[in-house]
Amino acid sequence: MNTVKKRHMVPYLFILPAFIIHACIVTGPALSTLVMSLFDWNGMGNAKFIGFKNFSEIFKDPLVKLSVVHNIQWLLIFITVPLILGFIVAIIVSQLRRSQMFFRTIYFIPYVISAAVAGKIWTAYMNPYYGFNQVFAKAGWTELSKVLWLGNPKIALFAVAFVDNWHWWGFIMVLFLGALQQVDPTLYEAARVDGANRFQELIHVSIPGIKQTIAFVLIMTIMWSFLTFDYVYIMTNGGPANATEIMSTYIYKNAFVKYRAGYANALCVIQSGICVILYFLQKYISKKGGMEDE
Amino acid sequence: MNSGVKIGAKYKISSFIKYVFLIIMALFAAVPLFQVFINAFRTDRECKSMPLGLPKEWVFNNFQETWQIGGYATAYFNSLLTAFVVIVVVLVVVGLGAYSISKLEFKMRGFFTAYFFVAISLPGFLYIVPDYFVMNKLGLVDTRWSLMIVYTAMQIPFNMLLLRTFLAGIPRELEEAAKIDGCNELNSFLRVTLPIAKPMFLTIAILVFVNVWNEFLWSNTFITSEELKLVATRFVKFTGEYGSNMARIYTASVITIAPVIILYLFFSRKFIEGMTSGSVKG
Amino acid sequence: MKNMKKFLALCLTGAMAVSMAACGSSGDDKAAGEDDKQTESTAKTDDDKDAKDSKDKEKLVISCYLADDNQVAVREKYIDEPLKEAFPDVDIEIKMYSDRQSLQVEVAGGGGPDILDLDGPTDVAEFAKADRVLDLGKYADQYGWKDMFYDWAYNSCFYNEKLYSLPTFFEGMVMYYNMDVMKENGWEVPKTQDELVELMKKIQEKGIIPIAFGNSNYQGAVDWLYSTFTSCYGGPKAVKAAMEGTGKYTDEPIKESIQTMVDWWQEGWLGDKASQSITNEDMVAFFAEGRAAMMIDGTWASNQLIATYPDCNWDSEMMPQKEDIGEILPFATGGGYSINANSKNPDLAAEVLNYLFTSLDRHYQSINEAGYQPYPLKEFDIAKLEGMDEKLLDQYKLLMDAQKNNQIGYCSWTFYPSEMRVYMNENTDALFLGSLTVDDYLAQAQTYIDTAIADNTIPVLP
């Protein structure tokens, strides 16, 4: 074997272990289950082939439409709030010296806690009889003290999103912080020599320096907004009256509560499909906008 | 002279506002967790009738009882062992893979990148049944191997992409220089990229650890023997739909999350050190 | 640096080995997946698959619901220990399942516990549909189960004319009263629906929640409510007629009873208009602490009240009656024991089941000392329970009397088609919040009855 050919093989040798492990344990089995989307199947046995009936049902199912709308609302929240908050805090924290570790640790800790524990605590906080509302009532904000954070269909989704943000933004912050610290310090020096102020530094050095991380966080947020599950499942489980139903909780319900695993699998196809489309859409847009992350 | 004072005052005010903001955010992050901790010292009844606030009387035997009932000692060992193996394997395969898709030119690069993005969108319940079926056939169910294998596979896509993003930030020139010095690809990865990327590997190790530590659906399904159960599975014992002892749930939460936080604190010190010593210039 | 390299090299070999192993597994992964689908269509019993266990003691796993450690301690005393004594050659393990997902995955993946403790006939039906649980007909003949159980309970375990489970505890929905609150305010326990309505108005004026209810952590808890309202205020006759096809679930009496439930919720009588924001635990706490005066709950809650709130002075009665219907107690079996089709030793599993239902001394003791719910056995003699906690005894008497006097109502988890129950559990909150009309709700529910009648899978009502 000559060296040229060898060189050619190296990238494959590097990527294959990860690819093979993942394909064997996740993708392969997942594809074998996806076939079941063509069956009337309760998740345990005796599947009946029904062709594309599950899919045609999806397009008629009003709950699917509702879930997708909720996912989009979720996306709009998560693509703004935690990103902006995380970015601002990362910028501030990156300028700190002694207290940096303290803050980054505190902010990151909510991410470390499992959703099961955090969800329980926050549900208690949002309880109308002994949560925040009692504090509001004492403060004299009667209107605010009557709000049913998780019980009012109009508010519930935002209340859960708020909690998920609590757990999420610190992670984003740490990602940004890590990227900021990777930016070549000589660039800042050069900017300062050119007489740039803090804000100009931010625009011309910091942001371009971490644009790959920003692009990555953006695409991850977009995809995860359609996959999110934990906090909604634990805090409201889609309720009240489907006001917080999202794709993944609806899939879960079909698979494990309604015994409609076939239909749930069809929904999974749609969900993954949305993610794939979004991925390529994002890629196309960032290429157009010169934000290519390669 | 005058303006200097002004700037100083302005600077002070802005840094004061900054700190107030940071501290408010810190309280926002920490208070709910503090409540978990507090509730671990209350009676069951108090937790149920008034989950928020300070205990009327401090109860200290929750911990001892929960520790004993939960059988946490072996669970800690199992979780740590599983996490350790998963972290090592994930770091190796993801390190190589991410290096490959971020630094090397080859035909299928786009495919692999897209593959891992798409892979993230596959929910666990799609493959849990077939995986269980196969592992049952292979006799892997109820062994540590089953979870190690599954967790490793599950952790690959996201961390691969994260590391790829990190690595892409490292100037290619450094590796090129190493190669000119006569290093092969693996050598330049080990000698140049790895030392710079050490803090990133630590970040990924922490992320993997957290996920493995908190995961319970798979561990609850795949492990049935008492002596092989993980911490999260133990914890599940304490969370129920109804008829459960809330004080114990909070105590169990503390027992479950304390090591994660301690470990994180420990590592984040290293993390910072890595940051300052292994900067790009170094 | 050098160390690092060595370490990495080591890791690399390790990783390779793992990925090889993983690869090997994936080869037959797909094949196995297909295999799975084929075998799913035929009920299978893997008898001699694992030879390695035969050397040790035989192992038998029984699934059970999640419980706190008090309950576990009690269970160990009254179930685990006696079982070990009765079957010294068998290694019996009782495994807790926190949610249905793990259990379902294990069963679907060809494993799982030998004896499944399921949610009751509606739940068992889904496992039966997939041939994941065994037809117990053979064992029923062998052990004479038919004559052991009350007919209503035994008959509820049939799906498609085959016996798939045995009824575990039997239970009913009752109204709980916090007697301290009642006495303090000079209120009498109401006898009729009208009296109840009057009382609720008075309670609400006092700033107390009339009937506590919360389902934020378990949405399906609404089935306690609609089961109670349809049975007690719509009447068991109307429900039975709907299930047998001689009437409709949309008929006036049922519609009226559901409307009553919705009205009460909207008045704030039932859950203070915030039931979606509070949990089941909150609900019991509110009742026990006197924040609410009453609570509609199952007979199982008494145990919980005694254990967690020993100083709460409560009482329980049948729902205040509607004149033309009389007092009704909605009945249910708390669950059903089934035998997993994957079980390696179904005969042994059946023997263990039979032991549980025939070791009556153990059973009486468990009721007496730990407040267990009784098995629906004909032989069950309430006289053996004299001397136990008065309130619990009263409740058991209530159950027995209701059964004797044919005041039986129908709980959805025992007597409704599975899909209908799922639909109603999910959409009752929408009724309360006004985003769904009673007519649409009942019409949709009726469609599930129609399907079940057509498929001949409609549950048998006593």
Find chain A residues with C-beta within 8 A of C33's C-beta. Answer: 29, 32-33
Across residues B70-99, what is the average pLDDT? 89
Domain assignment present for A158: no
Which of the residue ranges A2-11, B24-33, C54-63 has the most confident prediction, judged by mean pLDDT?
B24-33
Q: Are A123 and A235 in contact (CB under 8 A)?
A: yes
Whether B257 sits inside 8 A of A11 (CB atoms) is: no
Q: Which amino acid is at C409?
A: G
Could you tell me the pLDDT band of residue B6, with boundaries at 50, 70 and 90? low
CB-CB neighbors (< 8 A) of A119 in chain C: none
User: Looking at residue C135, what is its pLDDT?
Assistant: 93
Question: B165, B215, B248: best mutation site toward chain A, by most A Cβ within 10 Å?
Answer: B165
Q: What pLDDT is attached to residue C247?
A: 92
% of chain A at pLDDT higher than 90: 28
Residues of A with CB below 8 A from C29's CB?
24, 28-29, 32
Q: What is the pLDDT of residue B83?
A: 93
Contact check, Cβ <8 Å, A265/B127: no
Measured between beta carbons, the chain C residues lying within 8 angstroms of B241 are 66, 217-218, 280
Nearest chain A CA: its distance from C178 CA (Å): 19
Q: Does B264 touch chain A (CB under 8 A)?
A: yes
- In this structure, the dihedral spanned by the alpha carbons of residues A273, A275, A279 and A284, taken in order and rounded to 10 degrees, is 60
For residue C172, is pLDDT > 70? yes
Structure tokens at A159: 């209340």
pLDDT higher than threshold 70 for residue C31: no
In the predicted model, what is the mean pLDDT of residues C45-49? 39
Helix and strand numbers (H, E) in chain C are: 21, 13
Average pLDDT over residues A215-243: 87
- Facing C15 at nearest CB: one of B92, B191, B239: B92
Q: How far apart are the C-alpha atoms of C141 and C145, rounded to whole Å?
A: 7
With cut-offs at 50, 70 and 90, classify the pLDDT of residue C7.
very low
Q: Which residue of C has its CA nearest to A23?
A: C26
The three-state secondary structure class of A179 is: helix
What does A219-266 look like in DSSP terms, one character per residue?
HHHHHHHHH--HHHHHHTTT-STTTT--HHHHHHHHHHTS--HHHHHH
Predicted confidence at residue B93, as pLDDT, reads 94
Confidence (pLDDT) at C70: 66
Instruction: Give partners of B (≥3 CB pairs < 8 A).
Output: A, C
Taking an 8 Å cut-off on Cβ atoms, the answer to whether B190 and C69 are in contact is no
- Tell me C459's DSSP state: P
How many structural domains is chain B composed of? 1
- pLDDT of A90-118, one tens digit each? 999 888 877 888 888 888 888 888 887 78
CA distance C80 to C76: 4
pLDDT of residue C3: 44
Q: State ipTM.
A: 0.83
- Reduce the DSSP state of residue C326 to 3 states and report it: strand
Q: How many CB pairs under 8 A join A and C?
A: 119
The residue of chain B nearest to residue C303, with distances taken between CA atoms, is B243
The nearest CA of chain A is from the CA of C279 a distance in Å of: 9
User: What one-character-per-residue DSSP string does C232-297 give?
Assistant: III-HHHHHHHHHTSS-TTSHHHHHHHHHHHHHHHHTTBTTT-GGGS-HHHHHHHHHTTSEEEEEE
- The domain spanning residue B214 has which CATH number? 1.10.3720.10
Residue C462 tokens, joined? 């006593």
B contacts of A47 (beta carbons < 8 Å): none
Residues B110-130 have a mean pLDDT of 86
pLDDT band for position C15 (cuts 50, 70, 90): very low
Q: What pLDDT was estimated at residue C433?
A: 92
pLDDT over threshold 90, residue C447: yes
Say what the pLDDT of residue A77 is.
95
Domain containing A98 — which CATH number? 1.10.3720.10
C435 and A241 in contact by Cβ < 8 A? Answer: yes
Render pLDDT for B189-248 as a digit per residue (tens, 0 to 9): 787 778 878 878 888 888 898 889 888 778 878 887 778 888 877 776 665 533 456 677
In a domain, residue B221? The reply is yes
For B:3-42, CB contacts with C below 8 A are none
Asked if residues C438 and C259 have their Cβ atoms less than 8 Å apart, the reply is: yes
Task: Reduce the DSSP state of residue C132 to 3 states and report it.
Answer: coil
Q: If you search the block for the tokens 């590391």, which residue do you land on?
A: B163
Is residue A161 domain-resident?
no
The Cβ-side half-sphere exposure at B21, using a 13 Å CA radius, reads 14
Q: Cis omega before residue B123 (within 30°)?
A: no
Does residue C437 sit at the A interface (CB-CB below 8 Å)?
Answer: no
What is the pLDDT averaged over residues C381-399? 84
d(CA A167, CA B257): 14
- Looking at beta carbons, which residues of chain B come within 8 Å of C50? 139
State the helix-helix crossing angle for C438-455 and C252-267, rounded to 10 degrees.
140
The Cα A20–Cα A14 span in angstroms is 11
- Mean pLDDT (whole number) for B46-51: 65
pLDDT at C461: 84
Query: What is the span of the domain harbouring residue A71?
Result: 54-116+168-288
The overall average pLDDT reported for chain C is 82
B150 shares contact with chain A (CB less than 8 Å) = yes
Distance from the C186 Cα atom to the nearest Cα atom in chain B, whole angstroms: 25
Give the residue carrying structure tokens 């804000």.
A199
Distance from the Cα of C282 to chain A's closest Cα (Å) equals 9
Question: Does the pLDDT at position C437 exceed 50?
Answer: yes
> Residue C197 has what pLDDT?
95
Spatial separation of the C-alpha atoms in residues C301 and C303, rounded to whole Å = 5
Residue C388 corresponds to which amino acid?
A: M
Enclosing domain of residue B162: 71-237
pLDDT above 90: residue C199: yes
The pLDDT of residue C349 is 92
Nearest chain A Cα to B93, which residue?
Answer: A18
A182 closest CB neighbour out of B104, B117, B169? B169
In chain B, which among 78-97 make CB contacts under 8 A with chain C? 88-89, 91-93
CB contact under 8 A, A92 and B18: yes
Which percentage of chain A shows pLDDT scores above 70?
Answer: 96
Give me the pLDDT at residue C69, please.
62
Q: Is C68 or A50 the better-scoring residue by pLDDT?
A: A50
Phi/psi for B19 (5° steps) reads -65, -40
Banded pLDDT at B271 (limits 50, 70, 90): low
- Cα–Cα distance list, A13 to B99, B186, C16 (Å): 11, 10, 11
**Which domains can be identified in chain C, with CATH numbers?**
54-167+335-372 (3.40.190.10), 171-332+404-455 (3.40.190.10)
Residue A1 domain flag: no
CB of C454 less than 8 A from some CB of A:
no
Question: C88 and chain A: CB distance < 8 Å anywhere?
Answer: no
In A, which residues are within 8 Å of C435 by CB distance? Answer: 153, 241
pLDDT value of position B171: 73
Which tens digits make up the pLDDT trace of C320-361?
999 889 999 999 888 889 999 988 889 999 999 999 899 888
Q: Whole-angstrom distance between the N-terminal and C-terminal Cα of chain C?
A: 78
When divided into structural domains, chain A yields a total of: 1
- Render pLDDT for A5-25 as a digit per residue (tens, 0 to 9): 666 788 888 899 999 999 999
Q: How far apart are CA C297 and CA C319, in angstroms?
A: 10
Confirm whether A142 is domain-assigned.
no
**Are B133 and C5 a contacting pair at CB < 8 A?**
no
- What letter would DSSP give residue B238? T
- The answer to the question of residue A89 being in a domain is yes
Check residue C176 and give its pLDDT: 95
Interface contact B239-C98, CB threshold 8 A: yes
- Shortest CA distance from B195: residue in chain C: C1
**pTM score above 0.90:** no
Q: What is the pLDDT of residues C260-285, one digit of tens each?
A: 999 999 999 998 898 988 888 889 88
In sequence order, what are the residues at sequence separation of 6 or more whose Cβ sits closer than 8 angstroms to the Cβ of residue A1?
none
Please tell me the predicted confidence (pLDDT) of residue C18.
Answer: 36
Q: Is residue A144 part of a domain?
A: no
Across the range C293-306, mean pLDDT stands at: 89
Residue A184 has pLDDT above 90, yes or no: no
- Contact (CB<8Å) A44/C126: yes
Residue of C3, C29, C91, C305 to mutate when probing chain B, most B C-beta within 10 A:
C29
The residues facing C339 across adjacent strands are C115
Q: Which amino acid is at A245?
A: E
